[in-house]
Amino acid sequence: MSDATTVYELTNVSKTYRNEGKDFTALRDVSFSIREGEIFGIIGMSGAGKSTLVRTLNRLTDVTSGSVRYFGRDLAELSSRELRKVRRSMAMIFQGFNLLQQRTVIKNVEQPLRIAGVPRGERREIARKMLEIVGLSEKEKEYPARLSGGQRQRVAIARALAADPKVLLCDEATSALDPKITGEILELLAKINRERKLTIVIITHEMSVVERICHRVAIIDDGYLAEVGDVAEVFRSPKTRAAKKLVFPSNPYDPSEKDSRLLRIAFDGLSAKEPFIADLVATTGLKVNILSANTKSVGGVGYGQMVLELPKGEADREAVIAYFKRKGLAISEVET
């Protein structure tokens, strides 16, 4: 059914944990697909079910109903031997790195090759190449405890790449790192995606991670798939409440009156050249109150967003909204 370029196809995936008579449903009827070569983000608040979701992708967690197809094969139908073989083509990195503390860096990187039965000499050679890719060649004899968090995650990435996987699953891989190191790790992942055409799935609770490197994104909210689509599109016009909550700037707005209506405008690098607020005032004579404004890079394109407080009268409000629509700006109402 799925064409050659679909890596994962999830159909009505549900997961319920049974624990001493109490049921907990982590995923409800989730369906989407992941294409070969893309960086796919899965974002949600903590407890939304995204960690469970990524674990269904390599069957660390079995689904309760629905199916997860990997290059067309239903993972649930694999025997444990076949599953182990398939898992060798899916690498995973973790928030806590999960490196062997009692083994040197190079030995850690060799682990997947050892599992695949690659001979010792060849193992060492490949592992060295992987450390070179992540820029840690000089650390091969060190133990993980002596490395910084960012370096440890680089070792984990080298380890993940060693067995030449088709997919890289990242479970909150940057959540334990500071913003600068997060940026470096994301840069590395983007580079690997470009150069090796490796499909990458990124689980995160930070919109900034998704905006920075993901091509497409799925938003998970309370076990449901709230929204899925191109990152730029979701950023410009989020449709669901969950998406808006993630996309909108997190600084608190302080409208001048209780019943004010707030509007978020998102604009890409092109419309950003136009002084549209000044133009709004000039053409309609209406004034808006700017509550928040910032710019950021989404998928390599500069985007700006602004939260405005609309003028009081209903007719004036509609006129402002009509103006922005005419200008082709993505607008959405912010709940106060």
Binding site for another protein (CB under 8 A): 58, 60, 83-88, 90-92, 94, 96, 98-103, 111-112, 114-116, 143-145, 163, 169
Beta bridge partners of 6: 35
Cβ 143 to another protein shortest distance, Å: 4
Q: Check if the beta carbon of residue 90 is closer than 8 Å to that of residue 161.
A: no
Using alpha carbons, select from 294, 301, 283, 309 the residue that is nearest to residue 251: 294
- Residue 63 vs 266, nearer CB to another protein: 63
- Residue 40 vs 94, nearer CB to another protein: 94
Starting at the edge strand that comes first in sequence, how are the strands of the sheet with 301-309 ordered?
Answer: 289-298, 301-309, 262-268, 330-334
Cβ 18 to another protein shortest distance, Å: 14
Cβ 5 to another protein shortest distance, Å: 24
- Residue 96 vs 183, nearer CB to another protein: 96
27 Cβ partners below 8 Å, 6+ apart?
13, 14, 15, 49, 52, 53, 56, 63, 223
Cβ 111 to another protein shortest distance, Å: 6
- Residue 171 vs 221, nearer CB to another protein: 171
Using alpha carbons, select from 225, 223, 250, 252 the residue that is nearest to residue 240: 225
Q: How far apart are CA 161 and CA 6, in angstroms?
A: 21
The radius of gyration computed from the CA coordinates of the chain, to the nearest angstrom, equals 23
- Residue 85 vs 197, nearer CB to another protein: 85
Cβ 52 to another protein shortest distance, Å: 13
Neighbours of 233 (CB within 10 A): 15
Residue 40 CB-half CA count within 13 A: 27
Cβ 219 to another protein shortest distance, Å: 24
- Residue 143 vs 253, nearer CB to another protein: 143
- Residue 101 vs 297, nearer CB to another protein: 101
Neighbours of 292 (CB within 10 A): 18
**CA-CA distances (angstroms) from residue 68 to 8, 62, 77, 168, 244?**
7, 10, 10, 16, 28
For 316, the token pair is 């004036």
Cβ 131 to another protein shortest distance, Å: 17
